[in-house]
Amino acid sequence: MSGSQVKLTAWPRVHLGLVDLGGATQCRYGGSGCSVEGRPVEVFAEPARDVSVELATSLEARTQDDLVALQARIAAALGDRGARIVVEQAPPEHVGLGSKTALLLAVACAAMHVGRGATGRTDLQRLSGRGGTSGAGINLFFDGGFVVDGGQPYANDAEWTPSSDGPPAVIPPVLARHEIPKSWRFHLIQVNGHGPSGVAEREFFRTMTPIPRVEVLESLAALHHGVLPGFAAGNLGLVARGLRTAHGVGFKRRELERQTARVQNLYGNIASDPTIAVGLSSVGPLIFAITDADDAGDRVVQLAHRTGAKMLKCVRPINHGYLLRES
């Protein structure tokens, strides 16, 4: 055994929405997201004779099963080398923070580093098995900031499924990446409950797709001629208008409509303020609100408390990828 011990930190993300779940373009899916502070993934790893993954934090049974499957893939990739990995901390699951993607990538990256395996970006992405639908989380792990991905080549006979259903045929490419202004703040609000996962998430994708062509194109326009130029120019008002448009059409509208009345009311109240950019992260129920001024942040807090928010954190953007520290 040789090599160093490592500590890897990776951050949660908010997902702004998927674009093409209707076959209106040459690429399936496609989407965007932002890296944010909050409770990060923390993974410790050291060289060992075999590959093992230990938990120092509580994770759901399905996530533990995914880690067992990842452990087998890591062992096959390392051959006669090994790594002991300890998951010390992870963000809340199934609320819209992309915890599983960050977790699986962090475990794979730390293990391959101490086991002297392939640590290239594509190698780690494929090893993680993530990115089957959206490329936002899988690319934000490496880049941070705000990213837009181009999805995957369209296939006539393919079903519309969530990222958890399997690895992508093609790693969704990054079309644009911008740093998020340091003065912007992300208010993360969970009113109640968890988002769908497993069978429930697959059923939601099945019943809500395909999305009509005109709505796909409206979603595409809202992202590429609203949200994206807003982040590129540091124009929060443009981001806010683009997100409001995106939440009124396509798959994002359907994600919002399946939320509880309290979540929908919270979204609507915040969206009525043109100085605040607000959205539903992934399939929810997490609401994120982006502000620049202190008074706007105070208004978000007041609106959140009126709706009985379960979780309210004001966090900074993260404009870099994961951190790996050797000892």
- Is 1 inside any structural domain? no
Q: Is the pLDDT of residue 179 over 50?
A: yes
For the segment 208-228, what is each residue's pLDDT rounded down to a tens digit? 999 999 999 999 999 999 999
Domain that holds residue 52: 6-176+321-326
Question: Taking residues 285-310, what's their average pLDDT?
Answer: 88
Which residues have C-beta within 8 Å of that of residue 289, sequence separation ≥ 6? 186, 187, 189, 270, 276, 277, 278, 300
Residue percentage of the chain with pLDDT more than 70: 95
Q: Is the pLDDT of residue 126 over 80?
A: yes
Same domain membership, residue 144 and residue 212: no
> How many distinct structural domains can be found in the chain?
2
- Is 96 inside any structural domain? yes
Instruction: Give me the pLDDT at residue 34, please.
Output: 98
Dihedral (Cα; 279, 283, 286, 291), 10-degree rounding: -20
**When comparing pLDDT for 251 and 152, which is higher?**
251
Same domain membership, residue 12 and residue 157: yes
Tokens of 70: 């990842």
Same domain membership, residue 199 and residue 157: no
CATH code, 282: 3.30.70.890
Same domain membership, residue 168 and residue 212: no
Same domain membership, residue 164 and residue 99: yes
Question: Taking residues 117-132, what's their average pLDDT?
Answer: 89
Using DSSP's 3-state secondary structure scheme, residue 174 falls into strand
- Is 292 inside any structural domain? yes
Q: Which pLDDT band, with edges at 50, 70 and 90, does 3 fall under? A: low
Same domain membership, residue 166 and residue 63: yes
For the segment 258-282, what is each residue's pLDDT rounded down to a tens digit? 999 999 999 999 999 999 999 999 9
- Is 215 inside any structural domain? yes
- Is 245 inside any structural domain? yes
Instruction: Give me the pLDDT at residue 327, please.
Output: 83
Same domain membership, residue 128 and residue 49: yes
Same domain membership, residue 250 and residue 197: yes
Average pLDDT, the chain: 92
- The sheet with strand 311-315 has its strands ordered as 277-280, 287-291, 185-190, 311-315
Same domain membership, residue 102 and residue 236: no
For the segment 114-123, what is each residue's pLDDT rounded down to a tens digit? 999 999 998 9
Same domain membership, residue 212 and residue 157: no
Question: Taking residues 119-139, what's their average pLDDT?
Answer: 88
DSSP of 39-94: S-EEEEEEEESSEEEEESS---HHHHHHHHHHHHHHHHHHTT-EEEEEEEE-PPSS
For the segment 239-260, what is each residue's pLDDT rounded down to a tens digit? 999 999 999 999 999 999 999 9
CA angle 151, 152, 155 (to 5 degrees): 135
Using DSSP's 3-state secondary structure scheme, residue 16 falls into strand
Q: Is the pLDDT of residue 187 over 80?
A: yes
Q: Angle formed by the axes of helices 261-271 and 250-257, to 10°? A: 130
Same domain membership, residue 188 and residue 103: no
Instruction: Give me the pLDDT at residue 1, please.
Output: 40
Using DSSP's 3-state secondary structure scheme, residue 153 falls into strand
Instruction: Give me the pLDDT at residue 54, please.
Output: 97
- Is 223 inside any structural domain? yes
CATH code, 69: 3.30.230.10
Which residues have C-beta within 8 Å of that of residue 268, sequence separation ≥ 6? none
Q: Which pLDDT band, with edges at 50, 70 and 90, does 307 fall under? A: confident
- Is 206 inside any structural domain? yes
Question: Taking residues 65-81, what's their average pLDDT?
Answer: 96
Instruction: Give me the pLDDT at residue 77, please.
Output: 97
CA distance 81 to 112: 10
Same domain membership, residue 146 and residue 10: yes
Q: Is the pLDDT of residue 2 over 60?
A: no
